[in-house]
Structure 1
Amino acid sequence: MTELVQIIYVSQPFGYDIPTLNGILLESRRNNSRDGISGALICRHDIYFQLIEGPETKVQAAFERIKRDDRHLDMKTLVSANVTNRIFADWAMLHDPATSLIWTEKEISAGILDNTTEVDIRHMFETLAEDVKKNGPPV
């Protein structure tokens, strides 16, 4: 059986705009569907906050591609763990425009991520997944 892994990272967007975001989502969904990866991207002009999960070798390869992508600055891995279940099994890449489930820009610039636990980070994505199941994807 293939080992499932989950990586959650944060980065600062470089050159963020809607066409860039749409390109990232299109490319991610195509690659993730091909590779059996699922996940979610919470984003706005000041943050990319992404969870990717799936087969270990495929997730690691995708993460290496992301790290080389010059649309990300100051990338930091927050969670890297083996998991038994996916949070976003039905989504090649869910997009959330960071309207309600994420910290404010002021909190992020003040360093809230330095004091946030892996449990809290996972919980944020679990809450998003539950909300999507109940209400449909964010718009």
Structure 2
Amino acid sequence: VLLPGAKEAIVLASKYATLGVVTTKTAKYSIELLEYMDIMKYFDVLIGREDVTHPKPHPEPIYKALSKLQSDTTKYWMIGDTPMDMVAAKNANIHSVAVTCGYADRALLTQYTDNVYQTALEAVKFITVL
């Protein structure tokens, strides 16, 4: 099951940016899941735990995704729902936005980023107006 507003957020974000996934799950499982949910088509790269030596919160998975996207850290944002996501973004020098509809609550997430929203759609809307 997708987080609330996630599909709408992905569709909206894809109109403004190149999208990728960095996950601690395996790429094979994640791709199958995203294809089943009919959203894999919106992502240009997916980095799973088997694609790196050091998983999040190490910056390696983000750097690998950026390398495949042929981009630098100044143009990308990470939307995540865990402190580990926010730490990984900071370690990779990426802007971060946290969402509270996943694994962690606002009180915890605000310890890691100033940008905290209830849903991924709200997070994407925040990024698109910058």
Give TM-score, length-normalised by structure 1: 0.33
Bigger share in helix: 2
Larger RCO, structures 1/2 (Cα 8 Å, 6+ apart): 1
TM-score, normalized by length of structure 2? Answer: 0.35
More strand by percentage: 1
